[in-house]
Amino acid sequence: MRIKVINPNTTPAMTDLIGYAARAVAGVGTEILAVNPSMGPASIESHYDEALAVPGLLQEITDGENASLSGGVDGYVIACFGDPGLDAARELAAGPVVGIAEAAMHAAVMLGRSFAVVTTLSRTIGRAEDLVAHYGFADRCVSVSACDVAVLDLDDDRSGASLLVEQLARTAIERDRADSIVLGCAGMTSFCERLTDRLGVPVIDGVAAATGMVEALVRMRLRTSTRDEFASPLPKRYDGELASFSLRA
């Protein structure tokens, strides 16, 4: 089995971190292809970033499908907590596609009554709250908080990000009665094991959760339904810079 784990930003160091997290939970015989697009934002921290990350992400899906013609890719993980382009990716992919926010929240509600999200910049709280509601967990998520550290600074020890996330998570546990903590950025994956040990509750990394879920869906021979909404996109011409995305019948 091959799972393509797509970091939708263009920063290779973050892709390497994401790939390490996915490989750590993948089963025997599962190959993880960790990639990032060549076009798009260096990090995703706004609606503008997210919108401009989607074309590069979809190109990675298309490339994976072309490889799948020779048995290349069985499923996909979208490794950004905003789950950018998830629905569009499902229209293109033959195998299952899972976003890390979607996976982490579903895992959280299997492990306790309530969960809290700790994310990066405060400007991303609204997007996280939108996803909580979209996935049907508004009554299970007790808080969303932000450490106010930029995505590309998370792995810089000088930022103090790990300690800040721990403090916010502890507040969510003690004040908001969160049974588990969802890490609200793929760049926080390296914090997961340490925080689980220190906090005494499940701390969920979406990269690991999504990798496990895609792997399970592939093993069960399940894929996205193509009955209606997620059928292949209609053949259509795209113009200008998007000409290469045109679809033929």
Question: Tens digits of per-residue pLDDT, 93-119?
Answer: 999 999 999 999 999 999 999 999 999
Helical H runs in the chain?
12-25, 47-68, 86-92, 100-111, 125-134, 161-174, 192-199, 206-219
Counting residues of the chain whose pLDDT is more than 90, the rounded percentage is 94
For residues 61-69, average pLDDT: 78
- pLDDT, residue 169, reads 98
Is the per-residue pLDDT at 139 higher than 80?
yes
| Token representation of residue 138 | 């508004």
**Mean pLDDT (the chain, rounded):** 95
- pLDDT, residue 157, reads 87
Counting residues of the chain whose pLDDT is more than 70, the rounded percentage is 98
Alpha-carbon dihedral of residues 146, 129, 50, 30, nearest 10 degrees? Answer: 90
Block residue for tokens 């690991």? 208
Block residue for tokens 């309530």? 114
Residue 245 CA, chain-centre distance (Å), reads 23
- The pLDDT tens digits for 142-191 are 999 999 999 999 988 899 999 999 999 999 999 999 999 999 999 999 99
Q: Give Cβ neighbours of residue 118 (< 8 Å, ≥ 6 apart).
A: 144, 145, 146, 147, 165, 168, 169, 172, 181, 182, 183, 184, 188
Alpha-carbon dihedral of residues 98, 165, 123, 155, nearest 10 degrees? Answer: -80
Is the per-residue pLDDT at 91 higher than 90?
yes
Contact 72, 81 (CB under 8 A): no
- pLDDT, residue 249, reads 75
Establish whether domains 2-99+208-245 and 101-205 are of one fold: yes
- pLDDT, residue 246, reads 92
Contact 58, 133 (CB under 8 A): no
Is the per-residue pLDDT at 208 higher than 60?
yes
- pLDDT, residue 81, reads 97
Q: Under DSSP, is residue 144 helix (H, G, I), strand (E, B) or coil? A: strand
Q: Under DSSP, is residue 141 helix (H, G, I), strand (E, B) or coil? A: strand
- pLDDT, residue 248, reads 86
- pLDDT, residue 125, reads 98
Q: Residue 14 — φ and ψ, nearest 5°?
A: -70, -35
Task: Considering the domain delimited by 2-99+208-245, tell me its CATH architecture.
Answer: 3-Layer(aba) Sandwich (3.40)
- The pLDDT tens digits for 12-31 are 999 999 999 999 999 999 99
| Nearest-angstrom CA–CA distance, 129 and 245 | 31
| In the chain, domain spans | 2-99+208-245, 101-205
pLDDT-derived band at 64 (thresholds 50, 70, 90) equals confident
Given CATH 3.40.50.12500, say whether it is the number of domain 101-205: yes
Contact 127, 82 (CB under 8 A): yes
pTM of the model: 0.94
Q: Give Cβ neighbours of residue 156 (< 8 Å, ≥ 6 apart).
A: none
Quick one: DSSP state of residue 113?
S
Quick one: DSSP state of residue 112?
-
